[in-house]
Structure 1
Amino acid sequence: MPVTILYIGRDADITAVMNRLLNARVEWIGICVCSDEEAISICLEKQLDLVLLGNGINQEAEQKLREKLLALRPELKIVQHYGGGSGLLYGEIMSALREQN
Protein backbone atom coordinates (compact mmCIF):
# COMPACT_ATOMS: atom_id res chain seq x y z
CA MET A 1 0.00 0.00 0.00
CA PRO A 2 1.48 3.37 -0.97
CA VAL A 3 2.57 5.91 1.63
CA THR A 4 0.76 9.25 1.34
CA ILE A 5 2.98 12.26 1.92
CA LEU A 6 1.82 15.86 2.14
CA TYR A 7 4.45 18.48 1.32
CA ILE A 8 3.74 22.08 2.34
CA GLY A 9 6.00 24.81 0.96
CA ARG A 10 5.71 28.44 0.01
CA ASP A 11 7.62 28.49 -3.28
CA ALA A 12 5.47 27.22 -6.18
CA ASP A 13 8.47 26.17 -8.29
CA ILE A 14 10.03 24.11 -5.51
CA THR A 15 6.64 22.67 -4.63
CA ALA A 16 6.29 21.51 -8.25
CA VAL A 17 9.71 19.83 -8.07
CA MET A 18 8.73 18.12 -4.80
CA ASN A 19 5.54 16.90 -6.44
CA ARG A 20 7.57 15.35 -9.24
CA LEU A 21 10.07 13.75 -6.82
CA LEU A 22 7.48 12.35 -4.45
CA ASN A 23 5.33 10.91 -7.22
CA ALA A 24 8.27 9.40 -9.08
CA ARG A 25 8.31 6.50 -6.63
CA VAL A 26 5.51 3.95 -6.98
CA GLU A 27 5.45 3.37 -3.22
CA TRP A 28 4.63 7.03 -2.49
CA ILE A 29 1.68 9.28 -3.23
CA GLY A 30 2.78 12.90 -3.00
CA ILE A 31 0.40 15.78 -2.47
CA CYS A 32 2.08 19.17 -2.62
CA VAL A 33 0.54 22.50 -1.66
CA CYS A 34 1.62 26.07 -0.97
CA SER A 35 -1.02 27.20 1.52
CA ASP A 36 -1.94 26.19 5.04
CA GLU A 37 -5.63 26.20 4.11
CA GLU A 38 -5.05 23.61 1.37
CA ALA A 39 -2.97 21.52 3.76
CA ILE A 40 -5.65 21.50 6.43
CA SER A 41 -8.32 20.62 3.88
CA ILE A 42 -6.25 17.70 2.62
CA CYS A 43 -5.60 16.54 6.17
CA LEU A 44 -9.36 16.40 6.70
CA GLU A 45 -10.00 14.54 3.42
CA LYS A 46 -7.13 12.06 3.14
CA GLN A 47 -5.34 9.56 5.30
CA LEU A 48 -1.81 10.93 5.50
CA ASP A 49 1.27 9.02 6.60
CA LEU A 50 3.69 11.94 6.74
CA VAL A 51 3.84 15.72 6.39
CA LEU A 52 6.95 17.49 5.12
CA LEU A 53 7.25 21.18 5.92
CA GLY A 54 9.28 22.88 3.22
CA ASN A 55 10.88 26.14 2.34
CA GLY A 56 9.56 29.54 3.28
CA ILE A 57 7.53 28.60 6.34
CA ASN A 58 8.70 30.79 9.19
CA GLN A 59 8.90 29.52 12.75
CA GLU A 60 5.66 31.13 13.92
CA ALA A 61 3.68 29.85 10.92
CA GLU A 62 5.22 26.39 11.33
CA GLN A 63 4.15 26.20 14.98
CA LYS A 64 0.56 27.22 14.14
CA LEU A 65 0.41 24.77 11.25
CA ARG A 66 1.74 21.92 13.39
CA GLU A 67 -0.85 22.68 16.07
CA LYS A 68 -3.72 22.71 13.57
CA LEU A 69 -2.63 19.50 11.82
CA LEU A 70 -1.99 17.63 15.07
CA ALA A 71 -5.36 18.75 16.44
CA LEU A 72 -6.93 16.99 13.46
CA ARG A 73 -4.60 13.96 13.48
CA PRO A 74 -2.61 13.59 16.72
CA GLU A 75 -0.71 10.57 15.35
CA LEU A 76 0.54 12.46 12.29
CA LYS A 77 4.32 12.56 11.80
CA ILE A 78 5.49 16.05 10.76
CA VAL A 79 9.09 16.73 9.76
CA GLN A 80 10.97 19.73 8.44
CA HIS A 81 12.42 19.19 4.95
CA TYR A 82 15.39 21.46 4.36
CA GLY A 83 16.01 20.56 0.74
CA GLY A 84 18.80 18.70 -0.94
CA GLY A 85 18.86 15.98 -3.53
CA SER A 86 16.42 13.15 -4.03
CA GLY A 87 18.68 10.80 -2.03
CA LEU A 88 18.45 13.06 1.01
CA LEU A 89 14.68 13.33 0.57
CA TYR A 90 14.38 9.53 0.42
CA GLY A 91 16.47 9.21 3.57
CA GLU A 92 14.40 11.79 5.46
CA ILE A 93 11.15 10.10 4.52
CA MET A 94 12.32 6.59 5.29
CA SER A 95 13.75 7.68 8.64
CA ALA A 96 10.51 9.44 9.59
CA LEU A 97 8.43 6.42 8.59
CA ARG A 98 10.64 4.05 10.60
CA GLU A 99 10.18 6.27 13.66
CA GLN A 100 6.40 5.93 13.29
CA ASN A 101 6.46 2.14 13.64
Structure 2
Amino acid sequence: MQTTILYIGRDTEITVVMNRLLNARPEWKGICVCTDEEAISILKAQDVDLVLLGNGISPECEKVLRSDIIALKPQIKIIQHYGGGSGLLYGEIMTALG
Protein backbone atom coordinates (compact mmCIF):
# COMPACT_ATOMS: atom_id res chain seq x y z
CA MET A 1 0.00 0.00 0.00
CA GLN A 2 1.32 3.43 -0.92
CA THR A 3 1.71 6.19 1.64
CA THR A 4 0.59 9.55 0.27
CA ILE A 5 2.77 12.44 1.42
CA LEU A 6 1.90 16.08 0.82
CA TYR A 7 4.86 18.46 0.83
CA ILE A 8 4.14 22.19 1.19
CA GLY A 9 7.02 24.59 0.60
CA ARG A 10 7.57 28.03 -0.82
CA ASP A 11 10.71 27.46 -2.91
CA THR A 12 9.81 26.12 -6.36
CA GLU A 13 13.22 24.53 -6.98
CA ILE A 14 13.21 22.70 -3.65
CA THR A 15 9.64 21.59 -4.27
CA VAL A 16 10.77 19.99 -7.54
CA VAL A 17 13.57 18.15 -5.71
CA MET A 18 11.17 17.01 -2.98
CA ASN A 19 8.79 15.70 -5.63
CA ARG A 20 11.60 13.65 -7.16
CA LEU A 21 12.75 12.31 -3.77
CA LEU A 22 9.31 11.40 -2.51
CA ASN A 23 8.30 9.68 -5.73
CA ALA A 24 11.58 7.76 -6.03
CA ARG A 25 10.31 5.24 -3.50
CA PRO A 26 7.58 2.90 -4.76
CA GLU A 27 5.95 2.80 -1.32
CA TRP A 28 5.42 6.58 -1.34
CA LYS A 29 3.29 8.86 -3.47
CA GLY A 30 4.54 12.42 -3.17
CA ILE A 31 2.44 15.46 -3.96
CA CYS A 32 4.36 18.72 -3.76
CA VAL A 33 2.86 22.21 -3.81
CA CYS A 34 3.96 25.78 -3.14
CA THR A 35 0.71 27.37 -1.97
CA ASP A 36 -1.61 26.78 0.93
CA GLU A 37 -4.59 26.93 -1.41
CA GLU A 38 -3.23 24.03 -3.48
CA ALA A 39 -2.52 22.06 -0.32
CA ILE A 40 -6.02 22.53 1.09
CA SER A 41 -7.56 21.61 -2.27
CA ILE A 42 -5.55 18.37 -2.34
CA LEU A 43 -6.45 17.55 1.25
CA LYS A 44 -10.14 17.98 0.41
CA ALA A 45 -9.92 15.78 -2.69
CA GLN A 46 -7.52 12.98 -1.70
CA ASP A 47 -6.50 10.75 1.15
CA VAL A 48 -3.18 11.99 2.51
CA ASP A 49 -1.23 10.15 5.20
CA LEU A 50 1.41 12.73 6.10
CA VAL A 51 2.04 16.43 5.56
CA LEU A 52 5.59 17.79 5.33
CA LEU A 53 6.03 21.50 5.89
CA GLY A 54 9.06 22.83 4.06
CA ASN A 55 11.12 25.96 4.08
CA GLY A 56 9.87 29.47 3.57
CA ILE A 57 6.58 29.20 5.43
CA SER A 58 6.35 32.07 7.90
CA PRO A 59 5.40 31.25 11.50
CA GLU A 60 2.10 33.09 11.06
CA CYS A 61 1.22 31.19 7.88
CA GLU A 62 2.30 27.91 9.45
CA LYS A 63 -0.04 28.44 12.40
CA VAL A 64 -3.01 29.10 10.09
CA LEU A 65 -2.04 26.25 7.75
CA ARG A 66 -1.73 23.74 10.59
CA SER A 67 -5.13 24.83 11.91
CA ASP A 68 -6.73 24.47 8.47
CA ILE A 69 -5.16 21.04 7.92
CA ILE A 70 -6.27 19.73 11.31
CA ALA A 71 -9.79 21.06 10.73
CA LEU A 72 -9.97 18.97 7.53
CA LYS A 73 -8.05 15.89 8.71
CA PRO A 74 -7.85 15.81 12.53
CA GLN A 75 -5.76 12.61 12.65
CA ILE A 76 -3.17 13.57 10.03
CA LYS A 77 0.48 13.78 11.00
CA ILE A 78 2.28 17.04 10.23
CA ILE A 79 6.07 17.34 10.41
CA GLN A 80 8.57 19.98 9.43
CA HIS A 81 11.30 19.23 6.92
CA TYR A 82 13.87 21.89 6.20
CA GLY A 83 16.27 19.80 4.13
CA GLY A 84 19.29 17.68 4.86
CA GLY A 85 19.33 14.95 2.24
CA SER A 86 17.31 11.91 1.35
CA GLY A 87 18.53 9.82 4.32
CA LEU A 88 17.28 12.39 6.81
CA LEU A 89 14.02 12.73 4.88
CA TYR A 90 13.48 8.97 4.94
CA GLY A 91 14.17 8.84 8.67
CA GLU A 92 11.80 11.71 9.44
CA ILE A 93 9.01 10.13 7.41
CA MET A 94 9.47 6.65 8.84
CA THR A 95 9.54 8.04 12.39
CA ALA A 96 6.33 10.00 11.77
CA LEU A 97 4.57 7.01 10.25
CA GLY A 98 5.87 4.53 12.81
TM-score by length of 2: 0.99
Hey, what's the Cα distance between the residues in 2 that align with 1:26 and 1:36?
A: 26
Give the drift of 1:15: 0.1
Q: Once the two structures are aligned, what percentage of the paired residues are identical? A: 70
Match of 1:35 in 2: 35
Aligned length: 98
Give the drift of 1:13: 0.2
Moved over 6 A (4+): none
SS of 2:48 mapped into structure 1: coil
Structure 2 gaps of 5+ residues are none
Hey, what's the Cα distance between the residues in 2 that align with 1:82 and 1:13?
A: 13
Structure 1 gaps of 5+ residues are none
Instruction: Please give the per-residue CA displacement for 1:38-93, whole angstroms capped at 9, x wherever unaligned.
Output: 00000001100000000100111001000001000000100010211100000000
Pairs within 5 Å for 1:26-65: 26-65=26-65
TM-score by length of 1: 0.96
Hey, what's the Cα distance between the residues in 2 that align with 1:14 and 1:82?
A: 10
Pairs within 5 Å for 1:77-96: 77-96=77-96
- Computed over aligned residues only, the root mean square deviation of the Cα atoms, in angstroms, reads 0.4
